[in-house]
Amino acid sequence: MRRNRNAKIVATLGPASSSEEFIRKLFVAGVDMFRLNFSHGTQAEHKERFDTVRRIGRELNRPIGILGDLQGPKLRVGTFAPGGITLVPGATFRLDLNPTEGDANRVNLPHPEIFAALVQGATLLLDDGKLELRVEEFGRDFALTRVVVGGHLTDRKGVNVPSVLLPISPLTEKDRRDLQYALELGVDWIALSFVQRPEDIFEARAIIGDKALIMTKL
């Protein structure tokens, strides 16, 4: 089953794609590596999927890669009234440490480390980059932004600050537990989220050693 191509296909294993029959079909169809997503699922579920992939690899006499994908830090906005809000391009929108429910003018951002690292003109991306804000004013506990790309925003959507270096490790306590377990299983690759600086890779490598290769995610 030699594959003469440079591109590699990665498939995520989850509740709908974890049976031995399904995994075998995916591999035969062209998948080169299977991803264990540690943002979801239990250790027992990940072990069962890991064992199934390894068993199929032995049966087909073909090495199959397994990737342990760590969750990483989760930076999120707070909550809104039911149904969320709509951000309009050109409007101002405030993010702050006030834990009360948000509205069309403001929302809680419970991450003081973001406010501490902001600079004038910094970009904030919300909900996987669907919405874009630009910082016009900021302080230790707030940021007043201008909406560049608007849209609907609901509870606890993710926040990314691509132009700012945040004083946050890419490995949370949960990630450290998941990483140790993934290495005990014997995964081939570890994927890191929220890598900002070379030291982040060094931190992970000190734990991983030569037990697995490292992949970084945007």
* pTM for the whole structure: 0.85
Rounded to the nearest integer, the mean pLDDT of the chain is 95
pLDDT in tens, 36-45: 999 999 999 9
- CA 173: distance to chain centroid? 15
Q: Which domains does the chain have, with CATH numbers?
A: 10-72+169-216 (3.20.20.60), 85-160 (2.40.33.10)
Kindly tell me if the per-residue pLDDT of 1 is higher than 60. Answer: no
Kindly tell me if the per-residue pLDDT of 217 is higher than 80. Answer: no
Percent of the chain with pLDDT over 90: 92
3-state secondary structure 40-103: CCCHHHHHHHHHHHHHHHHHHCCCCEEEEECCCCCCECCCECCCCEEECCCCEEEEECCCCCEC
Kindly tell me if the per-residue pLDDT of 106 is higher than 70. Answer: yes
Kindly tell me if the per-residue pLDDT of 218 is higher than 70. Answer: no
Average pLDDT for 134-154: 98
Average pLDDT for 145-153: 98
